């Protein structure tokens, strides 16, 4: 810390000031460099595209002109009109050899439409006046032939692989016509694709990818041969992976690319520039249209890797700036040492004595300036600190004692509240009929009971009404925690009275009677209408001798499933002790050994979870029941609990959850 004292802080302040001054200058300079870089990038892209255009156009146009002369030769036409005439055949092939020597790759082909014979001669194969093979128009490999006849007026340029000749070339397909305009044959030449790409498409510039596109955006030539759209020049069809718009991907960028292609075709020879994501990287695309070839000559330039502006001049400039900053820092450090740090040294020593608790130190006033005034101020401060320290120590001791006493009282109160709630939980659990259910139903029942707090507003009931007659039910009282628990005690007492007053097979009457009792308990309270005192309930009466089940519910439904279907018997639309009196009806159904029954409070159905925090929902709940209805009930309970936990995720439990599962085997 001593090394990084006032001296270090002063130097740091100087450096920060320099940096703050250099920051806007650097940002402005960087923007200028970026604009210059962008300008040079566009100029670089335009120049290299024009250069590629001329480099490609000149040889291709020469080959095209020579192929047109070859296809439109009168000797060629006469032989096509009489293909089997030996004299015309000999004359044609003699003249064709002259054209072949002039073609760049010394190769030509001709395919008469009448015979569908395919003649081909090149340096790689022995000269022959006989056809190499006969074109089968049903063979997909000959799609170039049928496509050229269907879509070509005079000629097309098509990249294709000929499996019979085992060669991949850039073919110049010329449509040979008779004097009356009727088509006679397809003829032309071909450039070996590998040599064409190596000579005209390959680029030694880093970050520069030359390519050739047709009018639809299909790639005709590319350094990556897997991206070339074979045969698209003849039948105008291409795989999506060989279409430049597909490689772009972004919809807005695809639209901009299509507009640029259309603009280039409208203005042949002009340059179109646009930025677009190509194969996952932002690149500058330049293209120009050559109408004689029906091609777009394009270049994709990755500005992050292309060597557009040399960085040789940046390093000397940065070095000069660093040296200037160091010199300025050194001059400032010497000035701070002489004018400020030495006079402050004595003041620091006195201050250290004060820090050690020696309040009798007197700071001498040795200067008639701000530092001397600071020494006098320190002396005054020492006297006041001495006085205030004594007062503060007394007050701190007094307040510390009071705070400790308050903390002890708060801890005692908190422990009493916790003990009361735990005791309330024990009382609430004591009214749950777990032992009775186990004695009567055994493994044919299961209970999922999960209060939101230590105590809650949900409980379940079981009564043996008569021989072979049982009552099961779940109740959801309004509120959570202690208020909900108090409501459960009132609801439990009211249900006990209602069960005693009503017939054993009439759960609707039990609900109606419970509603009357609750209203009698709460109506005398002046706050009755302003508090949430309602409760949902679902009661099932089972007559084992008659093999009948009777159900009635107040906003709680009964579900049953045999593993194939899930049936839901809806309860009444109003809760018990609601603001308006509800009507409750009995539903009767026979008991089957294959069915499992479920009573569930809304805490399960309304629990938030999933990706969007929506409730679990009735549909998801019914599907869960259907999938597991045939399993043992204890296993079902475990599965349901885990299913809800996975759906809930990190969301908090909203409400008390109670689910009663039972079957009658």
Q: What is the pLDDT of residue 572?
A: 93
Tokens at 374, concatenated: 């600071």
Residues counted in the chain: 665
Hunting for tokens 């073609």 — which residue is that?
Answer: 103
404 class by beta-carbon count within 10 Å (0-12 exposed, 13-18 middle, 19+ buried):
exposed
The Cα–Cα gap between 73 and 70 comes to 5
Three-class DSSP labels, 148-193: HHHHCCCEEEEEEEECCCCEEEEEEEEEEECCCCCEEEEEEEEEEH
Give the residue among 580, 574, 532 at the shortest CA–CA distance from 552.
574
Q: What is the pLDDT of residue 2?
A: 44
CB 303 within 8 A of CB 277: no
Compute CA distances 162 → 27, 58, 108, 156, 397, whole Å. 58, 26, 13, 16, 101
Tokens at 602, concatenated: 């809304």
- DSSP-based three-state secondary structure for 60: helix
378: left (phi over 0), alpha (psi -120 to 50) or beta: alpha
For 337, residues 6+ apart whose C-beta sits below 8 A from its C-beta are 7
660 class by beta-carbon count within 10 Å (0-12 exposed, 13-18 middle, 19+ buried):
buried
The Cα–Cα gap between 33 and 40 comes to 10
The Cα–Cα gap between 170 and 161 comes to 9
The Cα–Cα gap between 136 and 299 comes to 38
What one-character DSSP code corresponds to residue 502?
S
Tokens at 228, concatenated: 């070339």
Give the residue among 459, 395, 396, 379 at the shortest CA–CA distance from 427.
459
Say how far residue 625 (Cα) sits from the centre of its chain.
Answer: 33
Tokens at 27, concatenated: 């940002």
- DSSP-based three-state secondary structure for 625: helix
Q: What is the pLDDT of residue 83?
A: 87
Per-run averaged pLDDT (10 residues), the chain, 665 residues: 59 70 67 60 71 76 87 89 90 90 89 90 88 87 79 75 70 86 88 69 71 76 72 60 68 77 81 77 79 75 63 65 75 69 67 68 62 68 73 82 87 78 78 90 93 88 92 90 83 92 93 92 62 87 94 96 94 91 94 93 93 93 95 95 94 93 89
Q: What is the pLDDT of residue 1?
A: 44
Q: Is the pTM of the predicted complex or chain greater than 0.75?
A: no
The Cα–Cα gap between 662 and 446 comes to 7
CB 562 within 8 A of CB 595: yes
What one-character DSSP code corresponds to residue 84?
T
CB 620 within 8 A of CB 657: no
Tokens at 265, concatenated: 């075709």
- In sign, the C-alpha dihedral spanning 43, 49, 52, 58 is negative
Buried b (16+ CB within 10 A) or exposed e, 41-69: bbebbbebbbebbeebbeebeebbebbbe
Tokens at 465, concatenated: 């009404």
For 377, residues 6+ apart whose C-beta sits below 8 A from its C-beta are none
């Amino acid at each position: 810390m001593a090394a990084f004292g006032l001296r270090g802080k002063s130097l740091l302040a100087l450096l920060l000031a320099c940096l703050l001054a250099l920051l806007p200058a650097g940002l402005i300079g960087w923007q200028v460099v970026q604009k210059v870089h962008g300008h040079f990038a566009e100029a670089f892209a335009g120049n290299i595209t024009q250069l590629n255009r001329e480099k490609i156009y000149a040889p291709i146009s020469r080959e095209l002109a020579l192929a047109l002369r070859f296809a439109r030769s009168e000797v060629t036409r006469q032989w096509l009109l009489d293909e089997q005439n030996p004299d015309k055949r000999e004359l044609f092939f003699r003249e064709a050899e002259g054209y072949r020597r002039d073609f760049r790759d010394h190769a030509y082909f001709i395919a008469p439409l009448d015979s569908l014979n395919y003649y081909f001669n090149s340096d790689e194969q022995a000269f022959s006046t006989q056809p190499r093979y006969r074109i089968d128009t049903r063979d997909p490999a000959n799609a170039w032939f049928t496509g050229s006849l269907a879509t070509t007026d005079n000629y097309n340029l098509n990249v294709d692989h000929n499996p019979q000749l085992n060669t991949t070339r850039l073919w110049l397909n010329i449509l040979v016509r008779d004097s009356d305009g009727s088509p006679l044959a397809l003829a032309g030449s071909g450039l070996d694709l590998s040599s064409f790409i190596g000579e005209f498409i390959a680029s030694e510039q880093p970050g520069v990818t030359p390519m050739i596109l047709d009018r639809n955006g299909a790639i005709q030539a590319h350094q990556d041969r897997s991206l070339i759209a074979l045969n698209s020049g003849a039948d105008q069809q291409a795989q999506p992976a060989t279409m430049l718009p597909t490689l772009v991907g972004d919809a807005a960028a695809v639209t901009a690319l299509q507009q640029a292609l259309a603009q280039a075709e409208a203005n042949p020879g002009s340059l179109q520039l646009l930025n677009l994501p190509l194969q996952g990287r932002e690149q500058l695309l330049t293209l120009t249209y050559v109408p004689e070839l029906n091609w777009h000559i394009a270049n994709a330039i990755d500005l992050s890797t292309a060597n557009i502006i040399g960085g040789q001049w940046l390093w000397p400039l940065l070095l000069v700036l660093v040296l200037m900053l160091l010199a300025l820092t050194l001059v400032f450090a010497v000035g701070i040492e002489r004018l400020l740090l030495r006079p402050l040294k004595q003041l620091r020593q006195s201050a250290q004595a004060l820090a050690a608790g020696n309040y009798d130190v007197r700071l001498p006033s040795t200067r008639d300036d701000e530092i001397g005034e600071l020494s006098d101020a320190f002396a005054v401060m020492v006297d006041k600190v001495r006085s205030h320290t004594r007062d503060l120590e007394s007050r701190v001791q007094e307040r510390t004692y009071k705070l400790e006493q308050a903390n002890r009282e708060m801890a005692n109160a908190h422990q009493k509240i916790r003990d009361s709630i735990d005791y309330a939980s024990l009382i609430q659990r004591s009214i749950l009929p777990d032992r009775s259910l186990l004695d009567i139903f055994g493994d044919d029942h299961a209970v999922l009971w999960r209060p939101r707090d230590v105590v809650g507003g949900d409980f379940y009931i079981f009564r043996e009404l008569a021989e072979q007659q049982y009552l099961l039910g779940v109740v959801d009282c309004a509120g959570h925690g202690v208020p909900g628990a108090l409501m459960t005690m009132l609801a439990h007492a009211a249900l006990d009275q209602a069960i005693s007053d009503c017939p054993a097979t009439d759960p609707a009457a039990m609900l109606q009677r419970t509603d009357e009792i609750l209203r009698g308990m709460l109506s005398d309270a002046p706050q009755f209408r302003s508090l949430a005192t309602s409760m949902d309930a679902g009661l099932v009466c089972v007559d084992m001798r008659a093999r009948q089940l009777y159900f009635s519910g107040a906003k709680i439904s009964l579900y049953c499933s045999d593993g194939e279907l899930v049936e839901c018997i809806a309860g009444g639309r109003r809760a018990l002790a609601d603001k308006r009196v509800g009507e409750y009806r009995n539903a009767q159904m026979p008991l089957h050994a294959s069915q499992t029954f479920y009573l569930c409070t809304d805490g399960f159905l309304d629990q938030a979870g999933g990706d969007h925090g929506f409730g679990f929902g009735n549909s998801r709940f019914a599907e869960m029941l259907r999938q597991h209805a045939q399993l043992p009930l204890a296993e079902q309970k475990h599965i349901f609990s885990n299913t809800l936990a996975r759906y809930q995720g990190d969301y908090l439990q909203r409400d008390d959850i109670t689910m009663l599962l039972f079957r009658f085997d």
